[in-house]
Amino acid sequence: MLRRSPAKIWRSRDILYRLKYATCKSCGKAFYPPRARCVYCGSQDVEYRYSSGRGVVKEYTILYQTPSGFGDLSPLIIGLVELEEGFSMLAQIVDVEPDKITPGMRVEAVLRRLVVDGSTGLIYYGIKFAPAEGMR
Q: Which partner from the list other proteins, Zn ion, none does 65 bind, CB cut-off 5 to 8 Å by kind?
A: other proteins
Q: Which partner from the list Zn ion, other proteins, none does 12 bind, CB cut-off 5 to 8 Å by kind?
A: other proteins
Residue 74 interacts with Zn ion (CB under 5 A): yes or no: no
Residue 129 interacts with other proteins (CB under 8 A): yes or no: no
Residue 22 interacts with Zn ion (CB under 5 A): yes or no: no
Contacts of 25 (CB under 8 A, 6+ apart): 43, 45, 46, 47
Q: Which stretch in 19-27, 49-57, 83-91, 118-126 sits in contact with Zn ion by CB under 5 A? A: 19-27
Give the residue from 93, 90, 96, 115 showing the smallest Cα distance to 15.
Answer: 90
Give the residue from 56, 55, 51, 54 showing the smallest Cα distance to 101.
Answer: 56
Residue 76 interacts with other proteins (CB under 8 A): yes or no: yes
Residue 84 interacts with other proteins (CB under 8 A): yes or no: no
